[in-house]
Amino acid sequence: MPLRKLFTAIPNLLLKLKPCLMMSPLSVSMFLVSDNYEFDMVIFDEASQINTENALGAILRGKQVIIAGDNKQLPPTNFFNSTSSDNDFDSNDDDDDGQDVFESVLDESRLFPACTLRWHYRSRHEHLIAFSNAKFYRNNLITFPANVERIPDNGVEYAYVPTGVYDRGGKTGNVNEAARVAELVFSHFEKHPNRSLGVIAFGEAQQQAIDTVIRRIRKQQQQFEPFFDESREEAFFVKNLENVQGDERDTIIFSIGYARDPQGKFLMNFGPLNRSGGERRLNVAITRAKYNLKLVGSILPDEIDVDRVSSDGPKLLRAYIDYAMHGPGTIMREIIEPSTIQHDSPFESAVYTFLESKGYKIRTQVGCSGYRIDMAIKHPTISGRNVIGIECDGATYHSTRTARERDRLRQSVLEDMGWTIYRVWSTDWIKHPDVEGQKLVNAIDAAINGYTVNRPESSPSNSVVHEYVQLADKERDAINPYGLGHYTQTLLQPNGSNVKGMDEYISEIIQNEYPVHADILFERVNAAFGSSYSKQDMRRKLNTTLAFVDDIVSKDEFYYPRGYTSIIPRAIDNTRTIEHISLDEIAAAMLIIITKTYGITKEELFKVTRDAYGYQRSGNRIQEAFNQSFDLVMGSGQVKEIEGKLRKI
């Protein structure tokens, strides 16, 4: 259960809690002196991942304790300790003794009073949760059907990569599958620019393979850089199974990675999935998406031999691949749309007969879980779209415990998911069938006539990306993801060959282009005023003029406006050699790039800066200038290097 939902449920109580701290359980034990800190309430979120021994210190400080979590999600684990790696799983052992999995404080608290939250809100398409509901939660979750059927980029899909090869025992993962994932990432940005996106991989090797391909494409197609902005509310990520719990995105791309090795051999070994509790990791991964999950794999269901494995993880993976390929009908005892017309009451049957006589295309009992919409009207021309849902006061309506639940909450959730809901009351229908029937027809016709596919994919892909970039930052050029300035020459018509005219021209050049190297300034002034002078005389005249210009200052052969406070790196369309660009300007460019990236290395920073200024390769002079500029950046106190990654303080 996400902590924010718990906070919503008890806001008045939380306002009274003083002091209020948010810390990890282990931090509470380490940093809070027990005599000085006591709390009216202690709340644990994601309790399935908290070891009991780490939680005791926080529990002892609280008068009341709420332990929130899901025992079908990740247990505590030391999966990424130095003794564990992707290579640990490339053995022929199908089973694992589970020594890395420990009991959590959530498991320990089973004897306490419990409250189960059954309504599932995250998934905006029911297919995203139907598998977990059937296989992990015994169909106890109340889920809500989507107002769209099985259409592209909604629900669960499988992208098969027949050429995928897994580097078993190596560090490159499945490169072909990683390339397919990267292709889907950038296709997503074009078709759905307003949807958030995350990528999940089974292990670190596949995570690194995907990240490498994406970074290479980013360098080639820099118009997509706005989508990688780390400051976005739901920023793009590439993570593995062990650290994705708690994250959610509109679309999730889930890469299996494991496949046949270069020799064509396929071991029944799926890394962390083979471990005890591995099925929980699968459950976490497949429930992160709100609208769409794209499962990417290089294997087909029948390639997973369930007779060779005893753990549940690989068996459920086989079932989930089949589910992604063929839909919810593959789940035993789960039927999304009955083959025969079903009604809860004669009243619903009468409404259905009336609508059928009007020629509407009707679905009945729409949904996968215990809660279903009585009827839905399909759009007459747009495939896969339900324009309106019809609720009758039948068995589903009367089975709810409270009036608030049946009359307000369920309809509110459905409308939030995009449904238009119309309720037909049995008493009104019996008394005035003609009047109520006409009202129903009017509501359906209004829904059809007013229906619009209000989704990003309805626009042409190229224009969508362009419009999104413009909306994100009107100043940002499509080939300039970091917002660096453009280098343009100040070409003014001088007002004569006198000292005053040259003075004005010099001031304007420096104001528009600073820092300006002395050689560039001379070339510009000589082109405008030097027709009557030799170069030697023109240089003396320039020096004389510079002595009388009091609104400029010089530093290391570069000129600046007096009193300037910042420097604009003029990297785009640069035509200057590296000697004619000041170290201050390069340092300013580097600082902007570091600010707009997350954890860039020094080598990557130099490459990005070089590319921004338009240099094809890094010679000795460029490397020396970059090193000196980098020293200025680090000396400014605005950047720290943490584990080889540069980050703005």
pTM for the full predicted model: 0.52
CA proximity to 602, closest of 579, 618, 614, 621: 618
SS3 label, residue 154? coil
pLDDT of the residue at 360 = 86
Q: Which residue has the higher pLDDT, 542 or 330?
A: 542
201 bridge partner residues: 240, 255
CA proximity to 457, closest of 541, 384, 562: 384
| Per-residue pLDDT at 546 exceeds 50 | yes
| Per-residue pLDDT at 515 exceeds 80 | yes
| Per-residue pLDDT at 296 exceeds 90 | yes
pLDDT of the residue at 607 = 86
pLDDT of the residue at 298 = 92
Distance CA(507)–CA(449), nearest Å, equals 64
Core vs surface per residue 167-201: b (16+ CB within 10 A) or e: bbeeeebbbbbbbbbbebbbebbbbbbebbbbbbb
Query: Who contacts 288 (Cβ-Cβ below 8 Å, separation ≥6)?
Result: 198, 200, 244, 247, 248, 249, 252
Lowest average pLDDT, out of 56-60, 121-125, 375-379, 505-509, goes to: 121-125
Each residue's pLDDT tens digit, 400-440:
555 555 556 777 777 777 788 888 888 888 888 889 899 99
Asked whether 241 and 207 are in contact (CB, 8 A), the reply is: no
Each residue's pLDDT tens digit, 88-118:
444 444 444 444 445 788 888 877 777 777 7
CA proximity to 441, closest of 351, 343, 349: 351
pLDDT of the residue at 407 = 57
Most confident of 60-74, 208-222, 329-343: 208-222
Mark out the alpha helices in 358-449 (DSSP H runs).
Answer: 395-398, 403-404, 410-416, 426-431, 433-449
Q: Which residue has the higher pLDDT, 54 or 468?
A: 54
Residue 369 confidence class, pLDDT cut points 50, 70, 90: low
Distance CA(433)–CA(423), nearest Å, equals 14
Residue 373 confidence class, pLDDT cut points 50, 70, 90: confident
pLDDT of the residue at 212 = 92
Per the listing, tokens 């202690």 go with 42
CA proximity to 294, closest of 194, 192, 381: 192
pLDDT of the residue at 264 = 84
pLDDT of the residue at 460 = 32
CA proximity to 255, closest of 313, 312, 198: 198
Mean pLDDT of the chain, nearest integer: 78
Distance CA(325)–CA(302), nearest Å, equals 12
Average pLDDT over residues 583-611: 86
pLDDT of the residue at 583 = 93
Q: Which residue has the higher pLDDT, 585 or 273?
A: 585
Lowest average pLDDT, out of 58-67, 89-98, 110-119, 587-596, goes to: 89-98
Query: Who contacts 35 (Cβ-Cβ below 8 Å, separation ≥6)?
Result: none
Q: How far is CA 137 from CA 93, 116, 369, in A?
A: 29, 12, 11
Each residue's pLDDT tens digit, 627-646:
999 999 998 888 888 878 88
Each residue's pLDDT tens digit, 32-48:
776 677 888 999 988 88
Residue 19 confidence class, pLDDT cut points 50, 70, 90: low
Lowest average pLDDT, out of 79-93, 96-110, 337-351, 391-405, goes to: 79-93
Asked whether 361 and 380 are in contact (CB, 8 A), the reply is: yes
Each residue's pLDDT tens digit, 175-217:
999 999 999 999 999 999 999 999 999 888 899 999 999 999 9
| Per-residue pLDDT at 84 exceeds 50 | no
* Omega before 515 within 30 of 0, i.e. cis: yes
Each residue's pLDDT tens digit, 319-333:
899 888 887 777 644
373 bridge partner residues: 366
Residue 397 confidence class, pLDDT cut points 50, 70, 90: low
pLDDT of the residue at 400 = 53
Query: Who contacts 93 (Cβ-Cβ below 8 Å, separation ≥6)?
Result: none
Residue 18 confidence class, pLDDT cut points 50, 70, 90: low
Distance CA(308)–CA(182), nearest Å, equals 32
Each residue's pLDDT tens digit, 147-163:
666 678 888 999 999 88
Each residue's pLDDT tens digit, 223-247:
999 999 988 889 999 999 888 888 8
DSSP string, 159-214: EE-TT----TTSSS--HHHHHHHHHHHHHHHHH-TTS-EEEEESSHHHHHHHHHHH
